[in-house]
Amino acid sequence: MAERMTGAEMVIQALTDQGVEHIFGYPGGAALPIYDAMFQQDVVQHILVRHEQGATHMAEGYARSTGKCGVVLVTSGPGATNAVTGLTDALMDSIPMVCITAQVPTTLIGSDAFQECDTVGITRSCTKYNYLVKRVEDLPRIMHEAFLIATTGRPGPVVIDIPKDVQFALGDYYKPDLETLRHQSYRPQVDGDAAAIEAAVDLMLKAERPIFYTGGGVINAGPEASKHLRELAELTGFPVTSTLMGLGAFPASNPQWMGMLGMHGTYEANWAMHDCDVMINIGARFDDRITGRIDAFSPNSRKIHVDIDPSSINKVVRVDVPIIGDCERVLSEMVRVWRSKTNQPRTEAIAPWWNQIEKWRAVNSLGYKNSDTVIKPQYAIERLYEMSKKQGKEVFITTEVGQHQMWAAQHFHFDQPNHWMTSGGLGTMGYGLPAAVGVQVAHPDALVIDIAGEASVQMTMQEMSTAVQYRLPIKIFILNNERMGMVRQWQDLLHGSRYAHSYSESLPDFVKLAEAYGGKGIRCENPAELDAAIAEMFDYDGPVLFDVIVEKDENCLPMIPSGKPHNEIILPDTANIGDIIDEKGRQLV
Partner 1 sequence: MNAHLQPTGSAYFITKETQEQERHTLSVLVDNEPGILARVVGLFSARGYNIESLTVSETEHGRRLSRITVVVIATPKTLIQIKLQLERLVPVHKVHDLTAEGASIERELALIKVAGSGEHRAETLRLADAFRAHIVDATVESFVFEVTGKPDKIDSFIALMQPLGLVEVVRTGLAAISRGPQGM
Q: Which does 456 bind (CB under 5 to 8 A by kind): Mg ion, ligand TPP, partner 1, none?
A: ligand TPP
Closest distance of CB 146 from partner 1, Å: 10
Q: Which residue(s) pair with 24 in the sheet?
A: 47, 72
Q: How far apart are CA 336 and CA 229, in angstroms?
A: 12
Report the run of H or E that residue 275 belongs to, with start and end.
Answer: helix 267-275
DSSP 3-state of 163: strand
Q: How far apart are CA 41 and CA 363, in angstroms?
A: 60
Q: Applying CB under 8 A, does 317 fall inside the site for partner 1?
A: yes
Q: Which of 7, 77, 453, 519 binds ligand TPP (CB under 6 A)?
A: 453
Closest distance of CB 425 from ligand TPP, Å: 11
Closest distance of CB 421 from ligand TPP, Å: 16
Q: Is 536 a catalytic residue?
A: no
Q: Which residue(s) pair with 211 in the sheet?
A: 279
Q: Which does 487 bind (CB under 5 to 8 A by kind): ligand TPP, partner 1, Mg ion, none?
A: ligand TPP
Report the run of H or E that residue 8 belongs to, with start and end.
Answer: helix 7-17
CA distances from 416 to 206, 223, 386 (A): 30, 9, 16
Nearest to 305 by CA among 203, 422, 153, 152: 203
Q: Is 396 a catalytic residue?
A: no
Single-letter amino acid, residue 131:
Y
Among 52, 60, 382, 400, the active-site one is 52
Query: For the sheet containing 240-242, what is the strand order?
Result: 257-260, 240-242, 210-214, 278-282, 302-307, 321-324
Query: For the sheet containing 70-74, what is the strand order?
Result: 45-48, 22-25, 70-74, 97-103, 157-163, 129-132
Q: Which stretch binds partner 1 (CB under 8 A): 1-9, 125-133, 197-205, 576-584?
A: 125-133
Q: Which of 149, 272, 442, 537 binds partner 1 (CB under 8 A)?
A: 149
Q: How far apart are CA 561 and CA 548, in angstroms?
A: 28
Q: Which stretch binds partner 1 (CB under 8 A): 43-51, 232-240, 313-321, 466-474?
A: 313-321
Alpha helices, DSSP H, located in 127-213: 139-151, 164-168, 178-181, 194-206
Rounded to the nearest angstrom, the gap between the alpha carbon of residue 527 and the centroid of all alpha carbons in its chain is 30
The contact pattern for ligand TPP, residues 419-438, with x = CB under 6 A and - = no contact, is: --------xxx---------
- What number of other Cβ atoms are within 10 A of residue 578's Cβ? 9
Q: Which is nearer to ligand TPP, 180 or 497 (CB)?
A: 497
Q: Which stretch binds ligand TPP (CB under 6 A): 108-116, 136-144, 224-232, 402-410?
A: 402-410
Alpha helices, DSSP H, located in 276-348: 288-291, 327-341
Q: Is 115 a catalytic residue?
A: yes
Q: Which of 473, 485, 527, 565 binds Mg ion (CB under 5 A)?
A: 485
Q: Which does 425 bind (CB under 5 to 8 A by kind): partner 1, ligand TPP, Mg ion, none?
A: none
Q: Which stretch binds ligand TPP (CB under 6 A): 111-119, 292-300, 453-461, 537-545?
A: 453-461
Q: Applying CB under 5 A, does 377 fall inside the site for Mg ion?
A: no
The contact pattern for partner 1, residues 180-209, with x = CB under 8 A and - = no contact, is: ---xxxx-----------------------
Q: Which stretch binds ligand TPP (CB under 6 A): 52-60, 316-324, 358-366, 396-404?
A: 396-404
Q: Is 552 a catalytic residue?
A: no
Q: Which of residues 230-289 bind partner 1 (CB under 8 A)?
A: 286, 288
Strands 321-324 and 395-399: unpaired
Q: Which does 427 bind (CB under 5 to 8 A by kind): Mg ion, partner 1, ligand TPP, none?
A: ligand TPP
- Angle (CA) 518-524-529 rounded to 5° is 125
Nearest to 362 by CA among 86, 579, 129, 586: 579
Q: Which of 45, 111, 314, 340 binds partner 1 (CB under 8 A)?
A: 314
Binding residues for partner 1, how many (CB under 8 A)? 33
**Which residue's beta carbon is nearest to the bound ligand TPP?**
453
Alpha helices, DSSP H, located in 456-547: 463-469, 485-494, 510-517, 530-539
CA distances from 60 to 23, 24, 25, 364, 415 (A): 11, 10, 13, 34, 21
Q: Which of residues 505-564 bind partner 1 (CB under 8 A)?
A: 562-563
Closest distance of CB 483 from ligand TPP, Å: 5
Nearest to 83 by CA among 434, 484, 500: 434
Closest distance of CB 374 from Mg ion, Å: 15
Q: Which residue(s) pair with 520 in the sheet?
A: 544
The DSSP result for 209-237, as a single string, is: SEEEEE-HHHHHT-HHHHHHHHHHHHHH-
Q: How far apart are CA 316 and CA 285, in angstroms?
A: 8
Q: Applying CB under 8 A, does 391 fall inside the site for partner 1?
A: no
Closest distance of CB 86 from ligand TPP, Å: 11
Alpha helices, DSSP H, located in 463-509: 463-469, 485-494
Q: Applying CB under 6 A, does 15 fall inside the site for ligand TPP?
A: no
For the four alpha carbons of 260, 266, 271 and 276, in that order, the dihedral sign comes to negative
Closest distance of CB 310 from ligand TPP, Å: 29
Q: Which does 299 bind (CB under 5 to 8 A by kind): Mg ion, partner 1, ligand TPP, none?
A: partner 1
Among 164, 303, 475, 520, the active-site one is 164
The contact pattern for Mg ion, residues 132-171, with x = CB under 5 A and - = no contact, is: ----------------------------------------
Q: Applying CB under 5 A, does 481 fall inside the site for Mg ion?
A: yes
Q: Which of residues 281-300 bind partner 1 (CB under 8 A)?
A: 286, 288, 291-295, 297, 299
Q: Is 454 a catalytic residue?
A: no
- What number of other Cβ atoms are within 10 A of residue 380's Cβ? 27
Can you give the binding site for Mg ion, defined by CB under 5 A? Answer: 453-454, 481, 483, 485
The set of catalytic residues is 52, 114-115, 164, 486
Can you give the binding site for partner 1, defined by CB under 8 A? Answer: 120-121, 124-125, 128-129, 132, 134, 149, 183-186, 286, 288, 291-295, 297, 299, 309-311, 313-318, 562-563
Can you give the binding site for ligand TPP, defined by CB under 6 A? Answer: 400-404, 427-429, 453-456, 479, 481, 483-487
